[in-house]
A and B are shown apart, each in its own frame.
Chain A
Amino acid sequence: MRAVAIVSFAQSNAESENRSEVEILQPVAAEAIRRSGLARGEIDFTCSGSSDWLQGQPFAFVMALDAVGSWPPIKESHVEQDGAWALYEAWVKIQTGEVDSALVYSFGKTSPGDIGQVQSLQLDPYCVAPLWPDLDSLSAIQACACIEAGVVSERQMAEAAARSMRSAQDNPHAVRKGDFAAEDLLAKPYRVSPLRDHDCPAYSDGATAMVIVAGDRASQLCERPVWIRGFDHRIDPPALGVRDLTRIPSAAMAAERAGARLDKIDFAEVTAPYSHQEILLRREFGLADDIPVNPSGGSLAAHTLMSCGLNRIGDAAVRIASGGGDRALAHAAQGPCLQQNLAIVLEGE
């Protein structure tokens, strides 16, 4: 495998944006490129992640090209997935030896639509989607199963949420943050029982961009390159009824294959849109209780759909680059109740 490092990262997150996707993305992409030390024309490959359903426009990613520049023509691809999978495709492209560097970006603007309803479209279109269950309800079913099995408790969920919001106080990109006691959170009403508002994702609009570079060039570009030591993603079946909802086998498998268990992890950034999912992931990744999870605050503090996975990876990279740890596991997820999972192990030099 070629050594590949994250050399720059930029993000924007805001509860709701009045700018167009291009206007949100343009400064973020420009910032990531500027911080990389490369000129736009020196970046060999570009890959993005987005979903047409957020804005209700087919080919939304076509317009987004205006925000990164594509003249003269560029080598470019797009996944209709979270930006973390765009990063995976870019990393694969570098592994082929055809390119040495890549710009990866993603954007999501959930505020214009009813995101609960929009996301029902990812369910079995014959037997499930016609009932319009939203992700809050499906995640509540998962939380209920976990509570019933004794895997998590409502108190642990409240503690995870409180910890996220407390950690997020230092994160300028967080849209939900503060110092709350778990007791006070538990006193709040249910949104969809057993989930309360703070157990659910803090949706936000935003964009994310990252530059990755192979080998020595990365070392020349930054003082402390953050190397991708392992990278893998896996998927579980879609039907909730055939899954053991207390387990996330594809997450465990991805982390295992990414080498997360080979050496000590200093901290983890995981995509857990619902509080109980952080507890499930901690278990699947075999993270000891003293290992910090989501020092950024995670999705309970800012959940920019299509960008949140890439944000977790970027947040982890920034923390390592600034000396906040040497080795981290970052994780992205997609699909109802963490159906699809991606794990990446990052290490500072």
Chain B
Amino acid sequence: MAERCAVIGVGQTKYDAKRIDVSMPGLLREAALRALADAELTWGDIDAVVIGKAPDTFEGMMYPENYLADALGATGKPLLRVHTAGSVGGSTANVAISLVTAGIHERVLTVAWEKQSESNAMWGLTLSPPFSVAVVAGAGGFFAPLVRTYMHRSGAPEDTGILVALKDRRNALKNPYAHLQMPDVTYEAIRDSFMLWDPIRYLESCPSSDGACAMVMANGSLAGRTARKPAWVHGTSMRSEPVQFAKRDAVNPMAGRMAAQDLYKQAGIQDPRKEIDCIECYVPFSWFEPMWMETMGFADEGQGWRLTHDGTTALDGSRPVNMSGGVLSSNPIGASGMCRYAEAANQVRGEAGEHQVDGARIALGHAYGGGSQYFAMALFGTEEP
């Protein structure tokens, strides 16, 4: 029990609006094969497969994991399918990790994906049943009022969101997998971009992407046998709360705060502001960076925006956030959370390429979903815990 677990392989597809060059199985295999190659393994070495994705309406398939089983080498193996809304990429990896830490399997492949181009995200997220009135336009329609509340509560400068977007879009230029590559992006271009869900602008929003992300988890005795370094799992956490109840704080949700505290406790982190080197967190709309910085304890309540303005969260800052360009640059919804984990793991493995943070020893991966009510997080470190 309580086996050690490490990420020994990471694979991502190139993210794009429409990956019409591949089938659905082809998309997943692209990521999975890269993760296997990274781990110096083949399909036969894997004991179990855990698949995650967000709603099945996006691709119009029921139990898509069953159709994908043999594409991922799962024939004759256990296969689980996780769905916890937008946080699914994170919680899927958490389940894969638990299969290893429970001592049930030695090597587990986990894959999360979305092929949004098969349909349309705005359609897939706004299917209203009878007797209701459809007024909430997709995810942006739901989250824009929360952003407005945050702005109102914190008194943050109005261009905080613009600065976050500028940072993440520039970081994406250093990530060859990132969907949006905007070499000419400027502060002004973001400021002047179209207001979609006021106060959220077009260039402050995530795209709809096709893509898949995969990781190979191994137990303590198998990790460290490959040329590339493992990313040791120092903790995982998940929390959920109801989407709506009287006096719920949906801007700084208790579930997010508890998940972060649980994570730090597991990893023996006393002060996350000092001990965590970099963060990949789920920011689908730019203002969520300062909001989640507060939820995770990197800033006091109402002060998270300062970390953007003073450069703390920049790639060369003291605690960079979304070095890969984040969800703002690539958003295959069901995979987006796992991309955060994968990028965080690669930071401590020293495998983050041009967006590597020098000397990153502890990195945090974060995902959230539903109405800011589902949270999944993990901490990765260079050292065996």
Show the binding face of A for B, using Cβ within 8 Å.
1-2, 46, 51-53, 56-59, 61-63, 65-66, 70-81, 85, 88-89, 92-93, 95-98, 118-119, 121-126, 129, 232-239, 249-250, 253, 334-335, 339-340
Contact = CB atoms under 8 A, between A and B. Distances in A.
Contact of A118 (B62, B104, B239): B62
7 smallest beta-carbon distances between A and B, as pairs: A95-B102, A58-B55, A73-B255, A76-B240, A121-B62, A80-B83, A237-B70
A238 B76 contact: no
Contact of B373 (A46, A62, A119, A236): A62
A57 B104 contact: no
Most buried by B among A71, A124, A249: A71
B81 A80 contact: yes
Interface of B: 1-2, 23-24, 55-57, 59-67, 69-70, 74-85, 91, 94-95, 98-99, 101-104, 124-125, 127, 129, 237-243, 245, 253-255, 258-259, 370-371, 373-374
B242 A70 contact: yes
A232 B55 CA distance: 26
Contact of A122 (B66, B77, B78, B259): B66
Given A70-B240, A122-B67, A235-B77, 12 more contacts: A73-B255, A73-B258, A76-B238, A77-B84, A77-B91, A97-B1, A122-B62, A125-B60, A232-B78, A235-B75, A235-B79, A238-B67
B56 A53 contact: yes
A340 B373 CA distance: 31
Nearest to B83: A80
A150 to B, nearest CB: 26
SS class of chain A's interface: helix, strand, loop or mixed? Answer: mixed
B22 to A, nearest CB: 13
A121 B54 CA distance: 16
B198 to A, nearest CB: 25
Contacts of A237: 69-70, 75
B254 A89 contact: no
B24 A125 contact: yes
A238 B98 contact: no
Contact of A74 (B70, B99, B239): B239
Given A66-B242, A125-B61, A250 B76 contact: yes
Contact of B76 (A74, A96, A249, A335): A249
A234 B80 CA distance: 10
A205 B26 CA distance: 36
A73 B259 CA distance: 9
Contacts of A63: 243
B258 A85 contact: no
Contacts of A126: 23
